[in-house]
Structure formats: C-alpha cells, structure tokens
Amino acid sequence: MASLQVPQLYRQLLRAGSRALRPERRLFLAYRDQLRQAFADPVPLETLADALHRGQTTLQFIQLAETPNSLEHKTFHNLCYMRLEIQRFERRRSRSNNIKRATERAQLVEAYDEYHRVLQRMNQTLGTAFR
C-alpha cells in the first residue's frame, strides 16, 4: 500500500509546485529537479511511513503557497529561488569561480549555509521534507 503512495505523492507535489510557481518557469524547473533528486534516493522501509507523513505535510504547505501574496507563497518562492541560484553556482565553470574575489565567494557560501539552516529549521518545526 505504501509503495503505491510514493508515485501519487510525487505527482501531487509536482502539480502543487507547478500551480504555486505558475508564472515563474525557471523556478519551477529548479523545483522539479530538486523533487526528482529527492525521490530518486531510496528510502528504507522502516522510515517510509515517516517520509510519507513528511511528504503530506510538505504537500499541505505547498498547497497553501498557491495563494498569491501569502506568507507561504513568498517563502516557497524564495526557497525555490535560492535553489536556482545554488544550481547556477554549482554549474558554473571552476575558472569563473576562481576569478571571483574571495570575499564575494565567502558571502555566497555563507548565504547558502544560511539557506540550509532555514530548511533544517522549517523541517523541524513544520514537519516538512524540504531539501
């Protein structure tokens, strides 16, 4: 029964994310890539029920984010934007990363660390499964 819920949850999360990020195609593509990566990782059977519960909680948050100008919408939009910027930074050629000044690079790394701390706190307090 739980194995049937995983693809259904994936489709629901994808549809809800598409509706929440409708005008922003590039943010949706970053969200879709992150969602694919999250569902590609195998989940042990012992923690599958907890993962499904967290997935349902995340789905509820994203469904709330479909309302324009709500706090959830702005938060979800900013999380997807940060994910897009991280993907751009990681895809950049190493030479262009070396050319950047050390202070600029340190600021980017610090901002990305702050992003990961925010995700961790959101997951702890809301019971979501953002990555």
pLDDT tens for each residue of 43-55:
777 788 888 888 8
pLDDT digits (tens, 9 = 90+) for 59-95: 998 999 999 889 999 989 988 898 888 888 777 666 6
Annotated domain spans of the chain: 2-126
Tell me what pLDDT residue 12 has: 92
Tell me what pLDDT residue 1 has: 46
Tell me what pLDDT residue 98 has: 61
Contact between residue 49 and residue 6 where contact means Cβ atoms under 8 Å apart: no
Contact between residue 123 and residue 130 where contact means Cβ atoms under 8 Å apart: yes
| Percent of residues, the chain, with pLDDT higher than 90 | 21
Following CA atoms 16, 21, 23, 26 in sequence, which dihedral angle do they give, to the nearest 10 degrees? -120
Residue 127 DSSP SS3 = coil
CA angle 70, 60, 23 (to 5 degrees): 50
More confident residue, 98 or 112: 112
Residue 3 has a CB neighbour count (10 Å cut-off) of 8
Element (H, E) at 56: helix 48-64
Mean pLDDT of 11-35: 90
